[in-house]
Amino acid sequence: TELMNRVPVVWIELQDCAGNSEALLRSSAPTVDDLIFDVLSLEFHETIMAASGHQADAQLEDAIEHFKGKYLLFVEGAIPTAMNGQYGTIGASGETFQEHLERLSKDAAAVVAVGTCATFGGIPAAAPNPTGAVGVMNIVKGKPVINIPACPANPANMVGVVLHYVLTGQIPELDSLLRPKFAFGYRIHDNCERRAHFDAGEFVEEWGDHGAQNNFCLYKVGCKGPMTFNNCSIIRYNEGANWPVGVGRGCIGCSEPDFWDKYAYERPM
């Protein structure tokens, strides 16, 4: 017997690189196959689905009609607002990304913005932001919006939100930036494996020096872990294989608002 009803998911891509889709494909607990067969029903996903062209358009329209008020709308990528949204159009109708998002969010149960572009504008919104890119919460009003930032968003956090919704019928508790507290309630720095070196004043001073060879703290070569709220230091990426600090280059604050302009990879002043 099925433990739970599978939740219908419609996943759209706007100004994106498909990095969050790639991350989802690497979900390990549960694996993406278990996820797609047992937990959610992926009704539409441009990158993964077999259909293309008009068939794909039709599949999307069928899904939002059939699962009206019930589907979770996952959004990957920013929304261009400059030039009346003409920087991004989609489908045969030439609908702009903004119109597309507004229309599809209308009958969604909730909207989940995955990745830093969909949450806060991300790289497309970096100065001088020629396309006027913004995140989902700037466009979608009157619907619950859940933000799962990071570049890419960690699949464990996407799965966490879906499972919470499936098991309780509700969205998880969110912070003031609409991020689930279970994932974004503490800083990278709070749980970092190099923290003892920070506390002992042992820093990498130059790439490749004695400190770098001994996994000292990366703060002086630009680590933004003390300012970044995320759980990468606990769950890591790629089935727990590794994460930015683990490979010795530090955190660049990829899940923070204004990432790129504010947290470019610079040394502290």
Q: What is the three-class DSSP state of 75?
A: strand
Tokens of 138: 């700037």
Site for ligand SF4 in 228-247 (CB under 6 A): 245
Measured distance CA(237)–CA(4) in Å, rounded: 27
218 binds, among ligand F3S, ligand SF4, none (CB under 5 to 8 A by kind): ligand SF4
For residue 255, the minimal CB distance to ligand F3S (Å) is: 4
The answer to whether residue 253 forms part of the interface with ligand SF4 (CB under 6 A) is no
Stretch near ligand SF4 under the rule CB under 6 A, chosen from 69-77, 127-135, 157-165, 218-226? 218-226
Which ranges of the chain would DSSP assign to H, the alpha helix?
A: 19-25, 32-34, 53-66, 97-106, 116-120, 155-168, 181-184, 195-199, 210-213, 232-235
Pick from 243, 217, 61, 47: which is nearest to 152 by CA?
A: 243
Nearer to ligand SF4, 100 or 187 (CB): 187
Pick one of 16, 189, 232, 255: the residue that binds ligand SF4 (CB under 6 A): 189
Nearer to ligand F3S, 21 or 230 (CB): 230
For residue 226, the minimal CB distance to ligand F3S (Å) is: 11
Residues forming contacts to ligand F3S in the complex (CB under 6 A) are 150, 188, 228, 230, 232, 243-244, 251-255
Token look-up 């996407």 returns 158
Q: How many CB atoms lie within 10 A of CB 109?
A: 18
Nearer to ligand SF4, 100 or 194 (CB): 194
Measured distance CA(178)–CA(111) in Å, rounded: 11
Residues that bind ligand SF4 (CB under 6 A): 188-189, 192, 194-195, 198, 217-219, 223, 225-226, 245, 250-251
